Structure 1
């Protein structure tokens, strides 16, 4: 039995095909989200990677910002539910999920069965999200993937105090004009994201094990800073960026068994 989950985000589209509800058969990611042809591309790519056709799929569930406009799905499901299912599938010991996406940040507290006990979200401000890191990387004229390398090499991280992306951008420009060490500046940017996310997490209540999902989980500068801010280890979930799509594929399997 093959089920497919598609997570249509603000900046990316991800697909996961699950075999018999137990094994990840294929995954795909396209850097184009809702309102683009990214979802269709991700769908075609994952089928090709799995060596399957649309007729082989038993059920499709869509999640993410663009889930309500994706007509190829059999059902839709909230991001919170799908991320909870995906992370719990990867790490059943997880009790707190920190997910930093392109446009929002979510903290989900799980019970012993992987159900949602509580959650909080920041979807009103770009600060503390992947978008914030994208803006800062653009300002520093480096790929966002390079932020981790610089952050982990810092000796004295700069403090970025502004809670608004626009004002934080001005702070970074000011620091650049003073020839501040790049590693220390990038570490300050990562610490800024971690500080905002940690405040969100404390509102939900922290229970170990704490897992991080979403694309920003791949930035170990942010992940390490979060561990320091929360004073507990924060671990990256395997295939962190695919947790919404994986959870949707699991939900699809549960629909047909």
Structure 2
């Protein structure tokens, strides 16, 4: 049987197909204004990769901000639980997860089965999210995916004092006008983001092992800064793209929920 998970976030949408507890295929796109459109497009893409149709999918679970509106999903599960489930699949030792999303960030604590134990979300400010990095990249005139490599070339991090994304962009423009390098500013931005994320760590605590999920987890500079401020190693998720972890967790939940439904139906048949 094949199970699907689709994750519609504020910046990107991902879809994952799982068969026999292994990833069959995955896809990701930039979100469209309508979450249903985003989910449909990313699911169509992953089905196209495999030559499958929706009729071939035994069960689909949606997650993310638009999860309750996806018409082809049988169930929806919070992105917090899905990131926990997906990260645990990728690395069974993981117990703490920092998920830096486009609109918010979360610290998630899970048990040995990958089930949610506790979590905390950042305050309603983009300075601790992927949108913060996106704004800085736009100021530099580069794609956000290039920001991490730029920061790794920095020699001396420029302190970023503003906690507002808009003000930070003005600060960055002023620093550039003063002759400061993009590399040093980018490194300062990474440290600023990691410092804001660490506020959740101080309040909730961490368990070994720690991993990062979401698109920002691909930013090596941010990951290094998280290790620096938390004094914890960020462990690898192996070959699994950290950006698809939410959709992967949703697909894994789809498998569990489908099995429970089959068991429920079997019990009803016995009674009848």
Which category describes the TM-score, using the shorter chain as reference length?
over 0.9
Q: Does 1:50 align with 2:47?
A: no
Q: Which of 222, 243, 246 pairs up with 1:244? A: 246
- Give the CA deviation at 1:40: 1.1
Flag the 1:34–1:14 CA change in 2: closer, same or farther, 3 A: farther
Secondary structure of the structure 2 residue equivalent to 1:42: helix
Higher helix share: 2
Number of aligned residue pairs: give it. 256
- The alignment status of 1:168 with 2:168, answered yes or no, reads yes
CA deviation map 1:72-107 (0-9, x unaligned): 111111111111100001011001000001101010
Runs of 4+ residues over 4 Å off in structure 1: none
Q: Structure 1: how far apart are the matches of 2:33 and 2:76? A: 14
With the length of structure 1 as denominator, give the TM-score of the two structures. Answer: 0.96
Q: 1:58 to 1:34 in 2, by over 3 A?
A: farther
- 1:138 corresponds to which residue? 138
- CA deviation profile, 1:152-205 (whole Å, cap 9, x unmatched): 111111000111112222221221110102210110111111110111122221
Cα distance, 1:235 vs. partner?
2.8
Structure 1: 5+ residue stretches without partners: none
Once the two structures are overlaid, the 10-residue window that deviates more, 203-212 or 36-45, is: 36-45
Residues 1-257 of structure 1: matches in 2 within 5 Å?
1-20=1-20, 22-33=21-32, 35=34, 37-122=37-122, 124-237=124-237, 238-257=240-259
How much does 1:51 deviate?
A: 2.1
Quick one: distance in 2 between partners of 1:242 and 1:122?
21
In structure 2, stretches of 5+ residues that fail to align are 260-272
Larger Rg: 2
CA RMSD of aligned residues (A): 1.2
Query: Does the 8 Å contact 2:32/2:38 carry over to 1?
Result: yes
Task: Give the alignment's TM-score, normalised by structure 2.
Answer: 0.91
CA contact (8 A) 1:34 1:66 kept: no
Question: Take 2:210 and 2:249, find their aligned partners in 1: how far apart are those partners?
Answer: 18
Tell me how far apart the structure 2 counterparts of residues 236 and 11 of structure 1 sit (CA, whole Å): 23
